[in-house]
C-alpha cells in the first residue's frame, strides 16, 4: 500500500463528511509518501483541518456545475497532476424531491467523469454509490458487483430534468436511492472506456480499530438507529426485523477497502465493488438492535400502538419516526456479494493488512456495537457537563 501511493496525487470530494474525513485522515497519517491531496469544499474551508500539512490543499468548488466549478488556475494543476479521484460528496437526505437528488448525486458524478476524462494521466474515477441503489430488486437474490443496466437511464434523466417528472421513482424506497441507481447506469452507458470504479457502500458504522474502536458519527443512518435505542428510549419494532439483513461496514474498514481497491493491480475499465459484510459476517438487524439495548417486537399495528402508550410522548414519537424511516430495512434481506472488493487480499502483505484491515471475517460486531454505545455515553456525559 505504501509503495502504491508513493507520490500519488489525489482529489477528494466530500472530505468533510464521515467517510471522507476518515479517508483524508488515513491518507495523511498512514500513507506518508502520498503526494498532494486536493479537497473540494463548497462554502467555507475547514480552517483548522490539517492546516499544518502542506500536502492538503482546500479548493472551492461546486460538484453540480461544469468542471465542478474549480477555478481555472487550480483546474490546470489538477488536470496535470491527479492520479486518483475519490468522489464521495453526496446529498443523503431521504426527504427531498427527485430533482434535488438528481442534481446533487447523479449529475455531479457525470460532471466528475467528464472532468476526469480530460486529465493528462489515466486517472481512476472512484465514485461512491449506495446499497440503497439496488433496493428495487428482489430481496431474495444476491446483489452482484456489476451494473444492472437496462439502457433506459437517458430517457429517465430527460423526464426528470427537462419535464420535472419522477420517472421510475416509485420503484425505490426514496429519491436518494433512485438518484444513485440512475447515476450508476448513466456512468456505465456514457463512459464504458474510462477507468471508473463504483463503490456501493452499505450502512457505515463505528470504527473497528482506527482511530479507535467505536469512533462514529451518530447523525447518520444506522448509527442514528443505534443511538435511538441506546439513548432515545426507542424500544418497539416489527417482528420482521428479527430476520432482516441490513448490511453494514465499519468506517475504517470501508476506507481501507476504497484505498486498496483504487490501486489494485488487476483494475481494468468500468468496475463495481461492494464495501459490505456480505454473507460472511453479518448479524441481523434485530440482533444489532438487541445489542444496542432492551427491545421488544410487535406483530401488528394494534400491538405497536399499545406498546407506545407506555412510553412518554417524546419517546413514542421518536419510536414511530424510527420505524417509519427504517421500515424498508426492517422487512428485507439484501445480500451483497463481495468477490471484487476482496481482490487486494491476494497481494497485500500481512503488515499491510494489519495497517489497513479489509477482511470482514475478522470483525467482532458485539465489540463494535459495545464500543459505539460507550462513545454515546461519553458524548451524553460531555453534553450534560
The domains of the chain, with CATH numbers, are 2-205+247-281+334-363 (3.40.50.720)
**What is the pTM (predicted TM-score) of this model?**
0.95
Averaged pLDDT, 323-339: 90
Percent of the chain with pLDDT over 70: 99
User: How high is the pLDDT of residue 25?
Assistant: 97
Contact (Cβ atoms closer than 8 angstroms) between residue 342 and residue 358: yes
What pLDDT digit, counting tens, does each position of 237-271 carry? 999 999 999 999 999 999 999 999 999 999 888 99
User: Is residue 141's pLDDT more than 80?
Assistant: no
User: How high is the pLDDT of residue 47?
Assistant: 67
User: Is residue 320's pLDDT more than 80?
Assistant: yes
Averaged pLDDT, 182-190: 98
Positive or negative, the CA dihedral 9, 11, 15, 21 is: negative
Averaged pLDDT, 283-300: 97
Averaged pLDDT, 4-29: 97
Contact (Cβ atoms closer than 8 angstroms) between residue 202 and residue 276: yes
User: Is residue 280's pLDDT more than 80?
Assistant: yes
CA 43 → CA 61, 88, 90, distances in Å?
8, 17, 15
Q: Which of 26-30, 307-311, 379-383 is least confident?
A: 379-383
User: Is residue 234's pLDDT more than 90?
Assistant: yes
Task: Using pLDDT thresholds of 50, 70 and 90, give the confidence band for residue 70.
Answer: very high
More confident residue, 191 or 380: 191
User: How high is the pLDDT of residue 50?
Assistant: 78
More confident residue, 137 or 180: 180
User: Is residue 305's pLDDT more than 70?
Assistant: yes
Spatial neighbors of 142 by CB under 8 A, at least 6 apart, are 279, 335, 336, 337
User: How high is the pLDDT of residue 328?
Assistant: 86
Averaged pLDDT, 198-220: 97
More confident residue, 48 or 355: 355
Contact (Cβ atoms closer than 8 angstroms) between residue 21 and residue 216: no
User: How high is the pLDDT of residue 208?
Assistant: 98
Q: Return mean pLDDT, the chain.
A: 94
Amino acid at each position: 500500500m505504501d509503495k502504491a501511493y508513493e507520490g500519488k496525487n489525489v482529489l477528494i470530494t466530500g472530505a468533510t463528511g464521515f467517510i471522507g474525513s476518515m479517508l483524508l485522515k488515513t491518507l495523511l497519517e498512514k500513507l506518508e509518501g502520498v503526494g498532494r491531496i486536493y479537497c473540494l469544499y463548497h462554502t467555507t474551508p475547514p480552517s483548522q483541518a490539517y492546516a499544518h500539512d502542506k500536502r492538503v490543499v482546500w479548493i472551492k468548488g461546486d460538484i453540480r456545475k461544469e468542471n465542478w466549478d474549480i477555478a481555472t488556475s487550480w483546474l490546470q494543476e489538477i488536470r496535470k497532476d491527479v492520479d486518483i479521484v475519490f468522489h464521495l460528496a453526496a446529498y443523503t437526505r431521504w426527504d427531498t424531491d427527485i430533482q434535488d437528488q438528481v442534481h446533487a448525486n447523479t449529475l455531479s458524478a457525470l460532471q466528475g467523469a467528464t472532468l476526469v476524462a480530460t486529465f493528462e494521466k489515466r486517472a481512476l474515477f472512484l465514485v461512491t454509490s449506495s446499497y440503497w441503489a439496488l433496493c428495487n430488486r428482489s430481496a431474495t437474490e444476491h446483489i452482484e458487483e456489476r451494473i444492472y443496466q437496462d439502457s433506459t437511464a437517458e430517457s429517465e434523466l430527460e423526464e426528470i430534468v427537462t419535464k420535472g417528472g419522477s420517472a421510475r421513482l416509485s420503484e425505490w424506497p426514496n429519491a436518494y436511492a433512485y438518484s444513485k441507481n440512475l447515476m450508476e447506469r448513466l456512468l456505465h452507458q456514457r463512459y464504458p472506456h474510462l477507468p471508473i470504479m463504483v463503490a456501493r457502500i452499505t450502512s457505515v458504522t463505528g470504527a473497528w480499530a482506527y482511530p479507535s474502536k467505536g469512533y462514529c458519527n451518530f447523525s447518520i443512518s444506522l448509527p442514528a438507529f443505534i443511538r435511538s435505542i441506546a439513548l432515545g428510549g426507542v424500544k418497539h419494532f416489527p417482528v420482521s426485523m428479527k430476520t432482516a439483513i441490513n448490511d453494514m461496514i465499519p468506517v475504517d474498514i470501508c476506507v481501507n477497502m476504497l484505498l486498496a481497491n483504487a490501486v489494485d493491480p488487476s483494475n481494468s475499465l468500468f468496475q463495481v465493488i461492494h464495501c459490505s459484510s456480505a454473507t460472511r459476517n453479518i448479524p441481523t438487524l434485530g440482533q444489532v438492535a438487541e445489542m444496542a439495548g432492551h427491545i421488544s417486537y410487535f406483530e401488528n399495528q394494534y400491538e405497536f400502538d399499545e406498546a407506545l402508550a407506555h412510553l412518554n410522548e417524546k419517546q413514542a414519537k421518536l419510536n414511530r419516526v424510527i420505524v417509519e424511516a427504517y421500515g424498508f430495512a426492517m422487512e428485507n434481506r439484501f445480500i451483497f456479494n463481495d468477490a471484487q472488493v476482496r481482490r487486494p487480499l491476494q497481494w497485500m502483505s500481512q503488515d499491510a493488512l494489519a495497517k489497513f484491515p479489509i477482511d470482514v471475517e475478522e470483525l467482532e460486531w458485539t465489540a463494535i456495537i459495545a464500543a459505539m454505545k460507550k462513545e454515546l455515553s461519553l458524548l451524553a456525559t460531555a453534553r450534560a457537563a
